[in-house]
Amino acid sequence: MILSLSKDTVQVLKEQDVVFLKNRVKEVAVKIKMGLVNQTRLLTAASELVRNMMRYANGGVCQIEIVSSGRNNGVRLIFSDKGPGIPDIDAAMRDGFSTGKSLGLGLPGTKRLVNEFDIKSKVGEGTTVTIIKWANG
């Protein structure tokens, strides 16, 4: 059972917002005493997802939550946009797949960096990606 302890929403529309978002995520991670390596994983994952949001959907919203399950605390990030959506999620989750000009590591790589990863997308309506990183795990 995952409980949400605090919630905060950040709008991401311009490049400056990205920096602000990363700082907010870092603050929250430090607050729950997440180790340095896990902090780096979480921030890198956030960086990947926010870039996707900027590139494909011209921005969106990120909800930052502190969550807890048993004795473990963690950070949950929910990125939602109203972009074009992803027609084939399975393909997007494969290493090396990209529609844009990139290495195609974004989504599968991000999944490897976090503990929980969930993606929902509807063509023409938008995409929501939810990730959780536990403080120790």
Partner 1 sequence: MSLKTHQLLQKKKKNILELWMKNQLADEGLREDLISNDELRSQSEELVDALVSNLSSENFTDLNSDEWSPVIEILGGIAITRARQGFSPRETGNFVFSLKEALLEVLQEEIVDEPQHLFSESLKINRLMDNLSVVTFETFIKGREEVILRQTDEIAEISTPVIRVWDGILALPIIGTLDSARTQIVMENLLQEIVETGSSIAILDISGVPAVDSLVAQHLIKTVSATRLMGAECIISGIRPEIAQTVVHLGIDLSNIITKATLASALSHSFKLMKLEVRKSNTTAKF
Partner 2 sequence: MDKIPILRLGNFLLVTIQVDLYDRLALNLEADLVQMVNKTNARGVLIDISAVTIVDSFMGRIIGNIASMSKILDAETVVVGMQPAVAITLIELGLPLKGVHTALDMERGMSLLKSMIDIDDEDIDQESTDDDIITQ
- Contact residues toward partner 2 (CB under 8 A) are 15, 18-19, 22, 36-37, 39-41, 43-44, 47-48, 51, 95, 102-103, 105-106, 108-110, 112-113
Structure tokens at 101: 């000009």
Which of 15, 37, 96, 124 is in the footprint of partner 1 by CB under 8 A?
37
Cα(110)–Cα(38) distance, integer angstroms: 13
Closest CA to 27 of 12, 6, 52: 6
Task: Tell me the closest approach of the beta carbon of residue 135 to partner 1, in angstroms.
Answer: 13
Q: Least CB distance from residue 136 to partner 1, whole Å?
A: 9
User: Across-strand partners of 119?
Assistant: 129
Question: In whole angstroms, what is the distance from residue 125 CA to residue 105 CA?
Answer: 24
Applying CB under 8 A, does 71 fall inside the site for partner 1? yes
CA distance 47 to 44: 5
Would you say 37 or 90 has its CB closer to partner 1?
37
Which residue, 24 or 68, has its beta carbon nearer to partner 2? 24
Q: Give the closest residue to 62 by CA, choosing from 74, 48, 49, 44.
A: 49
Q: Considering the rule CB under 8 A, would residue 1 count as an interface residue with partner 1? A: no
Binding site for partner 1 (CB under 8 A): 35, 37, 71, 137
